[in-house]
Amino acid sequence: MTTVPPPDSHGPTGLDAHLVVTRAAFHLDITLTAAPGEVVALLGPNGAGKTTALRALAGLTPLSAGRLRLDGEQLDGTPPESRPVGVVFQDYLLFPHLTALDNVAFGPRCQGATKAESRAVAAGWLDRMGLTAHAGDKPRRLSGGQAQRVALARALATRPRLLLLDEPLAALDARTRLDVRSQLRRHLAEFEAVAVLVTHDPLDAMVLADRLIVIEHGRIVQQGTPADIARHPRTDYIAHLVGLNLYRGRAEGHTVKLETGPAITVTEELTGDVFVAFPPSAVTLFRDRPTGVSARNLWRCEVAGLETHGDRIRADLTGELSLAADLTTVGAAELDLRPGVTVWATVKATQTHAYPA
């Protein structure tokens, strides 16, 4: 995972927000800072206030109190149309009466470009998204993945300094989701300003964001890098939510060679940069090197820490491969797990999930 500067180390550039929104039965109070180029994910259960936070950043919901600065500029009282903010809405909200091209050209046109100029800009964006062939299509003729890319192009065409994405992958089916996720990751990596995305899907958050902010009941309960949060969840909700080990490496066939050394065998056949993810519950631990098990996906590790979450114990392991493993309290007792002991960790290839980075 990329290293992220501490939230308050940057000067006047980037996002510096304290969002307070009070409604009848709901109170949102979060502090949010991000540097240019950083992708921050707001993660939390439904009703936690993620979307309200996003709407407040966009200016669609007024702040009850707090502050909002973007690149040093005060935005609190600025109406949405005057904010340098682009939004990709959950169901995209592409204008149904306009073609894909005119949807993307809408923003530049509103910013004062001529019809020809804004269409040229839009065509450029559609080209970058690989959608030139669909420029003349109305939104209802686009697939979910195409609509998502048009929505992203439309938001980026206004050259925003803050890009907001509300559940960018929620409307897609599982199959499309994988493709769109890695494409979106690429576009976000190229985006030079601040991006904030809202999601309830931990995998989306981990793949797309440099930093996660977990919100529950309108408050931040934890924030940090995805790896950080996955290893050291501070509430049961997060432990359950981010129950994933995530690695980056280069794939060759069914083998993924990690940057840190070891390799992971996966079911997918891929080449190039990939992510490999598997849940802590997929990991099996042994005190002695197991004999009946093939040497693939077998790592010698050391227990760095143990944390109890409900009736399960999450073991934080270091060694050949840093990973989190879940086991029952009984299982942990049988293995006599305690910090410092050596264990052998194994995971079946079928329990892993690899996808292009």
Which residues make up the interface to other proteins (CB under 8 A)? 58-60, 79-83, 85-87, 89, 93, 95-97, 106-107, 110-111, 154-155, 158
Q: How far is the CB of 35 from other proteins (least distance, A)?
A: 22
Q: How far is the CB of 333 from other proteins (least distance, A)?
A: 52
Nearest CB to other proteins, comparing residues 159 and 175: 159
Nearest CB to other proteins, comparing residues 85 and 229: 85
Residues facing 125 on adjacent strands: none
The radius of gyration computed from the CA coordinates of the chain, to the nearest angstrom, equals 22
Tokens matching residue 250: 């280069």
* Amino acid present at 3: T
Integer angstrom CA distances of residue 260 from 58, 298, 325: 40, 15, 19
- C-alpha span between 70 and 174 (Å, rounded): 35
Could you tell me if 205 and 169 are in contact, meaning their C-beta atoms sit under 8 angstroms apart?
no
Nearest CB to other proteins, comparing residues 113 and 221: 113
Around Cβ 129, how many Cβ atoms within 10 Å?
Answer: 21
Q: How far is the CB of 150 from other proteins (least distance, A)?
A: 12
Cβ-count burial 78-87 (b if 16+ within 10 Å, e if not): eeeeebebbb
Nearest CB to other proteins, comparing residues 87 and 126: 87
Residue count of the chain: 357
Q: How far is the CB of 185 from other proteins (least distance, A)?
A: 23
Q: How far is the CB of 27 from other proteins (least distance, A)?
A: 22
Residue whose C-alpha is closest to residue 297's, from 260, 250, 262, 248: 262
* Amino acid present at 151: A
- C-alpha span between 9 and 15 (Å, rounded): 12
Nearest CB to other proteins, comparing residues 58 and 263: 58
Sheet strands (E) in 174-244? 194-199, 211-216, 219-224
Q: How far is the CB of 96 from other proteins (least distance, A)?
A: 7
Nearest CB to other proteins, comparing residues 155 and 266: 155
Q: How far is the CB of 137 from other proteins (least distance, A)?
A: 17
Nearest CB to other proteins, comparing residues 119 and 314: 119
- Tokens 């293995």, residue? 335
- Tokens 């802590």, residue? 280
Q: How far is the CB of 169 from other proteins (least distance, A)?
A: 18
Nearest CB to other proteins, comparing residues 51 and 146: 51
Nearest CB to other proteins, comparing residues 93 and 349: 93
Residue 149 makes CB contacts below 8 A (sequence gap 6+) with: 129, 130, 131, 180, 183
- Tokens 């069914």, residue? 254
Q: How far is the CB of 191 from other proteins (least distance, A)?
A: 16
> What is the spatial order of strands in the sheet that 263-278 belongs to?
245-258, 263-278, 353-356
